[in-house]
Amino acid sequence: MTKKLDMRRAMPLWVGVFILFFFWACEQQKSLLVIRSGADVSKTKQEGFDSLLYLETIAAEDLLQASHLWVKADPTQLSFNERNTIERYLEAGGEVTFTCVDTIYNWGQLQPFFQSNQVQIDCKGTELSLRQANLDYSLAETPIMPAPDRLKRQVLVAPLREPICIAVTKESLVYWVERKGTINLYNLRTEDYQEIDSLAVYSGEEDGLLGLVLDPNFSENQWAYVFYSDPGEEPKQNISRFRLTPKGLDRQSEIVLMEIPVQRDECCHSAGDLEIDAEGNLYISTGDDTFSRDSDGFTPLDERSGRSPWDAQKSSSNTHDLRGKILRIHPEEDGSYTIPDGNLFAKDGSEGLPEIYVMGARNPFTLAINKRRNWLFWGDVGPDGNVTSERGPSAHDEINMAKKSGNYGWPYFNADNKAYADYDFETGELGPRFDPKNPVNTSVNNTGAKELPPAVPALLYYTFDETRQFPGVGKGSRSIGVGEVYDYETIKSKGFAFPPYYQDKLFAFDWARSWVKVISLDEEGNFLSIEPLLDASVVAAPIDMTFGQDGALYILEYGIGYFTDNHDSKLIRLDFTYGNRAPVANIALSQDNGKLPLTVAFSAAGSMDWDEKDSLEYLWIIQGPEDISLTGFEAETTFTKAGEYEVLLVVKDRYNASASSRATIIAGNAKPELNFEFADNSTFYWPGRPIRYALQLEDEEDGRLNEGIDLKEVKVSLTNYTGSDNRAPASLALLDGMSQEGIAPGLRLIQNSDCRSCHKINEKSIGPSFYEVAERYDKDYIAKEVLAKTIIGGGVGNWGEGQMPAHPDFTVKAAKEIVDFIFSVNDAAAQEAEVIKTEGQVVTKVQSKANYRFEASYKDRGGEKGTSPLSAMTEVTLRLPVLQAESADSVSGFSIEGDIADGDARFLKMKDSTAFFGYREVDLSNIDRLELVLSSPVEQMTPKAVKIELHGESPDGLLLSSVDWKSGAMRKESLTMELKAEGKQDIYLVFKSESPLVGVDQIKFHLNR
């Protein structure tokens, strides 16, 4: 007989409750597979998961309950916010599967999770056996990446004059030096800026005032170490200690610690940066002092007689020469120095100069130190070649790291010890490749040891082209630098400091590519990742940076263009805003001038607060002939006394953080009203038809034309020009601030490339000015082909001994567009503006391709009680009645087909079932039809229906016209849209089709007369 088990006696009650709770919890906790989709967005059925979540972007909250993450996108497509989220998910115990791509191995932070098997790689694309995670986010140690909208940029001083090096004191004084010897000071507390001194220096080639670092006890001793090129006849670099105060350098205090002999027969590579480590050791960077542009982009090993300046073996690989090195000494109080332990050679100098810490450098322009670990970093600017051949590798810029002394390879190796071959410049014979394990210097210019220490590879390196191993560094010209290693723990005032996320990360920059990036290393100093901080839209050619005691990052922007006082050079400050952020203030006025009594409505429209839940207060302070105070988002007042009033809007949040904005109101004088009227249209003209115009001018105090205002008081002019606006700035550095409308394709290509780093329009830089090129070549019809090939393939010797880097990404057509623009810079000056009457007509030719710009201006006589005069100006440019689709002001659902170099041959290709493009302020007066030039980019067997609508003011605004079309043939077709509309307005062409295979080339506007 089987005995039944009495469960009530067999287990305590609490155990039963626990078991029931356990099964209930398991029932409630559903398993979730999160899929970060890439190009393949097809849905995947996966056994073992209760639910699937497809995402195009991962946020932190998406992975809080994720059982597994499947990343089907290429890791290079992930933002660094996503990467940070995934790293924290893995630290919390997460499980991640990646699609099979080799770029996953460039993500160093994942290496420990490969070892723990939390990261898997799927190379089969089949059903996976996905493990499910048990998450505990208290285990996540990686700080959360800060939101980019908390990074604040502030311009402190602009423009500068070839800024080179920056230092910030504990007392909030920012010193920076400029290459030609000027020393400047910005006081962060008083916001005062002044040039405080000028040191006499030799500033030829790349020499000048190159380095500045403050003594660790600067607050007490005011010692500053300076690297400068001696202005005397003896060519040498001085490393001196001065006493530095807000009044400048005390010349009487100078002690020259070290003199470095150099040559000044040929350029280049002076380096000159200075740093001090935690032990008080002074690091000094020196360049190889070698002219490299006669070496075809490879290494300069010219041992011919009298060619020492062309041979880097005399310096970088010479154990008895201070050039091409990073020196390390310990300054003593009496102005002497001692040699620290651990330099590359013995202190007695028997093996090499004892000051040498690092040898084998080319142009180590900037230094940085992780002071907690005494790791040294430097950016070494590489040679100019961009091809790999039997002579050696394509050139790379490098970031190097030294935890101990060493030989970093130049001129025998580049990047990760890619070897050059020995080359005889006399015979052109090629020798064997150098051995990084056993480099040997046999140059006739070598005064040191022949057998050298083994070469150490670079930490990070990249060439002219995209470097897959280090994604995101870009391509084109290169000029690498390092800024500083961030140490959050040493920051004295952390109210605006960079957050702990950046602890121990190296801040690096590229002058030519105008970016700032952040490099992460592991505890052993191995490279993990490089992530963006700033790009060219925010920073212009950075050249040095440092963190202040306030945790803010101070950056010197040199600007685009070598050896010149660039308009876009600046001293900027970057800091983070924590907790509550100050609001943004903006003023909108109903009018800012007028006769008395003048009623003005004030609005704070455009003001905002970054913190969504904040409530804001608005205070209006108006000062002038009478003082007025108002409150509220909107306010209104009437001015009864004539004069100028200053308006201050203060916007304050609930935590008392505030922002302000200012405006000026003139009461007692109304601004003149000035505008052109055209008989036909104010946007277009039709070739062969005269342009009839009349200027309308009215001033409340002065009267009208011929009724109180004499025609002689009004300036009216006409300019006609073809192509781009002939008022384009002479400086390429100003291009970014220009409207892109009308800019020649070649100039756009220059704007978006590295060409402007080495060339200017009217001044010589590293390369010849565009004007010089045009003067030499533009009468030679063969030159266009030759120059286009040179732009693509590079060249040397055409303008002295300098080398022009190649641009293999340019098509022949693009290169020819650049040549066309260059040839245009020495064209005869555009026609001077022609003085015309206030009313009349302009005759146009049938074959005209010109634009006609009408301009007028008038300055009134002032208002009541001597109120200041006001000026009015107006300008209207009439153009041909054709708009290119790819030049639309706004585009959605279309892609632009063709390169910039294709010019008007480009077109818009529809990619979404509903798409539109639009133009701002087009005058539709007297236009009765539009002619659309369309095509089907792909031949279609069955024509597809397309609905085309014209809307006013917005894509879903007033319907002005519509037409149906069937796509199919690849040839171009013209389609007419009838139109009845008047006046100037924004217009939008909206396309709707279930099969979006439509190409749009241009829109022609037809006059109804």
Q: How many CB atoms lie within 10 A of CB 249?
A: 19
Instruction: Say yes or no: 646 and 698 in one domain.
Output: no
Instruction: Say yes or no: 989 and 923 in one domain.
Output: yes
Which amino acid, 776?
R
Give CA–CA dist 815/798, Å, rounded.
17
Instruction: Say yes or no: 836 and 818 in one domain.
Output: no
SS (H, E, C) 578-636: CCCCCCECCCEECCCEECCCEEEEEECCCCECCCCCCCEEEEEEEECCCCEEEECCEEE
Q: Which of 813, 843, 878 is the last residue of a domain?
A: 878
Residue 173 lies in a domain: no
Residue 427 lies in a domain: yes
Instruction: Say yes or no: 745 and 802 in one domain.
Output: yes
Instruction: Say yes or no: 610 and 657 in one domain.
Output: yes
**1003 φ, ψ to 5°?**
-125, 125
Give CA–CA dist 99/121, Å, rounded.
6
Give CA–CA dist 170/550, Å, rounded.
8
Instruction: Say yes or no: 657 and 805 in one domain.
Output: no
Residue 523 lies in a domain: no
Residue 654 lies in a domain: yes
pLDDT given at position 906: 83
| 239 contacts 258 by C-beta, under 8 angstroms | yes
SS3 content of the chain, % helix, strand, coil (to 5): 15, 40, 50
Instruction: Say yes or no: 291 and 405 in one domain.
Output: yes
Query: Two tokens at 994?
Result: 């279930």
CA torsion angle for 267, 269, 270, 271 (degrees, to 10)? Answer: 160
Instruction: Say yes or no: 924 and 886 in one domain.
Output: yes
Burial class (CB in 10 A: 0-12, 13-18, 19+), 166: buried
The H or E element containing residue 253 is: strand 248-261
| CATH classification of the domain holding 774 | 1.10.760.10
CA torsion through residues 977, 980, 983, 985, sign: negative
Q: Using the 8-state DSSP alphabet, how is residue 497 labeled?
A: P
Q: Which of 824, 856, 891 is the last residue of a domain?
A: 824
Nearest residue to 825 (alpha-carbon basis) of 769, 765, 767, 902 = 769
Give CA–CA dist 350/950, Å, rounded.
84
Give CA–CA dist 330/216, Å, rounded.
12
Pairing of strands 527-534, 542-547: unpaired
Q: Which of 432, 453, 485 is the last residue of a domain?
A: 485
> Computed over its alpha carbons, how large is the radius of gyration of the chain?
34
Q: Using the 8-state DSSP alphabet, how is residue 712 labeled?
A: G
pTM, entire model: 0.70
> What are the CA-CA distances from residue 556 to residues 157, 478, 506, 573, 575 (Å)?
10, 18, 17, 9, 15
Give CA–CA dist 9/201, Å, rounded.
98
> What are the CA-CA distances from residue 509 to residues 173, 177, 270, 500, 515 (Å)?
23, 19, 19, 20, 6
Report helix, strand or coil for 127: coil
Give CA–CA dist 655/580, Å, rounded.
7
Residue 153 lies in a domain: no
Number of domains in the chain: 6
| 287 contacts 267 by C-beta, under 8 angstroms | no
Q: Which residues pair with 999 in a beta bridge?
A: 909, 935
Instruction: Say yes or no: 738 and 716 in one domain.
Output: no
Pairing of strands 480-485, 506-510: antiparallel
Provide the edge-to-edge strand list for the sheet that holds 119-122.
Answer: 51-55, 32-36, 68-71, 96-99, 119-122
Residue 548 lies in a domain: no
Report helix, strand or coil for 248: strand
Pairing of strands 691-699, 839-842: antiparallel
> What are the CA-CA distances from residue 603 to residues 31, 425, 643, 665 (Å)?
53, 73, 21, 14
Cis omega before residue 955 (within 30°)? no
Low-confidence ranges of the chain (pLDDT < 70): 1-29, 38-47, 102-103, 124-129, 494, 537, 723-744, 751-754, 756-757, 762-766, 778-786, 793-809, 811-813, 826-832, 899-903, 937-942, 968-971
Q: What residue ranges in 332-396 does DSSP mark as E strands?
A: 337-338, 356-359, 364-370, 375-380
| 948 contacts 932 by C-beta, under 8 angstroms | yes
Give CA–CA dist 802/805, Å, rounded.
10
pLDDT given at position 768: 79
Q: Could you tell me the residue range of the domain that residue 753 belongs to?
A: 732-824
Instruction: Say yes or no: 862 and 964 in one domain.
Output: no
pLDDT given at position 136: 94
| CATH classification of the domain holding 901 | 2.60.120.260
Nearest residue to 448 (alpha-carbon basis) of 314, 330, 576, 324 = 314
Residue 705 lies in a domain: yes
Instruction: Say yes or no: 298 and 376 in one domain.
Output: yes
Residue 255 lies in a domain: no
Give CA–CA dist 763/733, Å, rounded.
13
Tokens 């039809």 -> residue = 929
Nearest residue to 550 (alpha-carbon basis) of 188, 166, 150 = 188
**419 φ, ψ to 5°?**
-95, 140
pLDDT given at position 490: 87
Give CA–CA dist 717/707, Å, rounded.
21
| CATH classification of the domain holding 608 | 2.60.40.10
Q: Using the 8-state DSSP alphabet, how is residue 39 labeled?
A: S
Instruction: Say yes or no: 943 and 874 in one domain.
Output: no
